[in-house]
Chain A
Amino acid sequence: MFKKKIFITMLVMLFLSLTVSGVFAQETVKIGTLMPLTGGLASYGQFTRNGTLLAQKIINEQGGLLGGRELELVNVDTQTNPQAGVDGAQKLVSVNGINAIVGALSSGVTIPVAESVTVPGEAVLISPSSTSPVLTTLDDNGYVFRTVPSDSLQGVVAGNLAADLNHEKLAIIYVNNDYGQGLNEAVIEQFENRGGEVTASIAFEPNKVSYRSELMDAASDNPDALLLIAYTDDGGITIIRQALENGYFNEFIFTDGLKAPEITEGVEQYLEGMRGTAPTSMPGGQGPELFTELYEEEFGEIPPKPYIDTSYDAAFVLALAIEKAGSTEGPAIRDAINEVLSEDGMVVNINEWDKAKDLIEAGEKIRYEGASGPVIFNDVGDSMGAIGIWKIEDGDIVTESVEIQ
């Protein structure tokens, strides 16, 4: 009898949770989001997710998709870890039947998700932040896009920055994944082109308690500075602190994964004046300013972190493509993506969803002008873009200059 009771309780629980979770609810149009709410990029994920939520709000306020249906964002926490990301994407595609996904942030997650889930599953994936050069040549049947430029650009800017700061010898420590490796190679190439010498290039594994061995190796040939390619929470901050504490380095160049005020906590005086690189919005156009306004209205002050705007754009573009395709089938969405970004189309701004709907219905071409500037994908789904140089001033992050591709 004991066994029967457990069995029945279980079934009841299952049934209850299904009903409460809305099995019997209205039919929405779903877009998936793969965001790191925990793990190494946790300090970014919450905000990039807000970017997608803002797009959802605007779209639903202005009439929804495919004949008035609400846009629903189904989120999965990637935990900044490829396994969780892939498992989550698997569920989105094969169980929720979702064919349009924004994410992931880390290239280390996006690439396996693409290779193992979305490409074979014929779902469109737009990453707002994965910068690894690997994505350019990925065999993806046109199903993978990104609203951020490849690190082949950021690497050049970072290499130049190091050279312009008169460093002759540079040590690089990079996170051991596709992002870290790609950016590392791009930096080395440019820095050596400018006549500099890279004395050490060391991969590190995230979530270790101590990086003293890596730092010891990196500092061994007396380089002038450390260029750090890492995420904040699973190693970046630890490396910075241990580098300073143990006297290994006092000059740093940071990259996009570290553009967060959190890195200065407790060490402001040591990091004053240090610079870094990160993709940023293209100058000109009203998208970026408008975005900041709308974001702050909804969520409060916008942090100086990257990829919030590109997340908005990724979600919005997917929604536009679904509307244009008139369906939620993967191949149709994929084919519609570039049609909503036509060069000779009518301009649609980030808060003009209703205008876009009307134009699409009338069969007109449209061109979406994004929160990060004009959104243009080339034939392999890559974006043009701008790389900004940022600086730490009084424990805060400020933009110094912008380099454009």
Chain B
Amino acid sequence: MTFAGMFSYLVFFLIFVGIYAIMTLALNIQRGFAGLFNIGIAGFWAVGAYTSAIVTKGASPDHLGGFGLPFILGLLAGGIVASILALLVGIPTIRLREDYLGIATIGIAEIIRLVIKNEAWLTNGVRGVSAIPKPLAGIFGSNYNLFFLLIVAAVIAIFYYLSEKGINSPWGRVLRAIREDEEVVKAAGKNVVRYRMEAFILGAFMMGVGGALYAHFTSFISPEAFRPMQATFLVWIMLIIGGSANNFGSLVGAFLTWGIWTGTEFLTGMLPAAYTTQAAAVRVILIGIFLEVILLSRPQGLFGEKKYSSKKTAADN
């Protein structure tokens, strides 16, 4: 590999880090700030990815299409449909205990996967949706990935800014209070369910956008994309390593986790081909053990919860 090769790889690597960072920021809103247990991340991701693919592609005999909308609208559509899904899922389950929500989200992710696999008129089923347009593809030639990385970075910047703003706002304070002690907040007359639902939907919107970005980058998605359970689990590791309820932590967590994950891929890639599956299994086991160790020894992650605006409120008073 030449220097150019290394640089190519770095850009490729960072794009994935970026997409995962978006997912982690999203989960941070749901879990870190609102205390929700979402293990169906893959479902929201998939909905975002497929929605964007369908609305941006031209007509196709294989699946629903023909809208040919521009990339940005694709991203928005992905986010919006994911939000609608969150609304529908949340209505029966948000008011329940968090573990019920967890089980329900796994169920939802599974149902979404089934729909994607079987409603071939919509998604082309197991054959997947290919040739998803990359924004401004022709212009950048071999430097295209760098351009895409800039897009991803821009999206992260926007979401990070909005998330920080949100958490420091009155809305954000109520949310965090709910997480600390729900009963007190209820007694104060706040509609706890509504706040939780809003956090759930916001997070889902971001996950949808993340999924859409993935679709446009890889140009091909199928029910197997994102390796549902593995990816969901990786995002949780990213959140916990970085420190739940800390946006900066989420970014760092994504970078480190994906780095370790791909690093192990490099190492196992040097084994003879006969050991490919075993190598992949070993990697998952290692990262699983890594998570358990973190949970047992340093559950607050690298950065712990960020102290938000406590100074401000004191000064206000």
Contact = CB atoms under 8 A, between A and B. Distances in A.
Interface of A: 2-3, 6-7, 10, 13-14, 17-18, 20-23, 25, 27, 37-38, 46, 49, 75, 77, 81-84, 86-87, 90-91, 94-97, 108, 111-112, 115-117, 120, 176-178, 205-206
Contacts of B224: 81-84
A111 B266 CA distance: 27
16 contacts: A7-B256, A17-B266, A18-B266, A21-B266, A21-B270, A38-B277, A75-B273, A82-B222, A83-B220, A86-B219, A91-B12, A95-B9, A115-B130, A115-B219, A116-B218, A206-B126
Contacts of B296: none
Nearest to B142: A94
A10 B259 contact: yes
A234 B224 CA distance: 14
Q: Which of A6, A38, A206 has the most CB of B within 10 A?
A: A6
Contacts of B276: 37-38, 77
A86 B224 CA distance: 11
B263 A17 contact: yes
B220 A82 contact: yes
B218 A178 contact: no
B127 A116 contact: no
Given A22-B1, A37-B273, A90 B267 contact: no
Contacts of B125: 176
Contact of A177 (B1, B4, B127, B263): B127
Q: Which of A96, A111, A120 has the most CB of B within 10 A?
A: A120
A112 B130 contact: yes
B17 interface: no
Contacts, number: 113
Contact of B8 (A81, A94, A116): A94
Given A83-B225, A86-B218, A176 B126 contact: yes
Q: Which of B145, B252, B259 has the most CB of A within 10 A?
A: B259
Contacts of A111: 127, 130
Chain B contact residues: over half helix, strand or loop, or mixed? helix
A17 B137 contact: no
Nearest first, the 7 A-B pairs at minimum CB distance are A116-B219, A116-B220, A17-B266, A83-B224, A115-B130, A112-B130, A86-B220
B5 interface: yes
B235 interface: no
B273 A116 contact: no
B269 interface: yes
Contacts of A117: 219-220
Nearest to B133: A120
A214 to B, nearest CB: 14
Contacts of B267: 17
B302 interface: yes
B9 to A, nearest CB: 5
Interface of B: 1-2, 4-6, 8-9, 12, 117, 125-128, 130-132, 137, 145, 218-222, 224-225, 252, 256, 259-260, 263, 266-267, 269-270, 273-274, 276-277, 302-303
A317 to B, nearest CB: 22
A117 B130 CA distance: 9
A311 to B, nearest CB: 14
Given A91-B12, A112-B128, A205-B126, A83 B263 contact: no
Given A83-B220, A116-B132, A94 B145 contact: yes
B220 A14 contact: no
Q: Which of A7, A38, A95 has the most CB of B within 10 A?
A: A95
A175 to B, nearest CB: 9
A34 B1 CA distance: 20
Nearest to B9: A95
B221 A83 contact: yes
Given A46-B274, A49-B273, A91-B12, 11 more contacts: A17-B263, A21-B266, A37-B276, A38-B277, A81-B222, A83-B222, A111-B130, A112-B128, A112-B220, A115-B131, A177-B126
B257 to A, nearest CB: 10
Nearest to B131: A115
Contacts of B269: 21
Contact of A23 (B1, B8, B131): B1
Contacts of A178: 127
A392 B41 CA distance: 48
Contact of A120 (B137, B221, B273): B137
A94 B128 contact: no
Nearest to B137: A120
Nearest to A178: B127
A13 B263 contact: yes
B270 A10 contact: no
Contacts of A94: 8, 12, 145
A387 B128 CA distance: 30
Contacts of B218: 86-87, 90, 116
Contacts of B2: 27
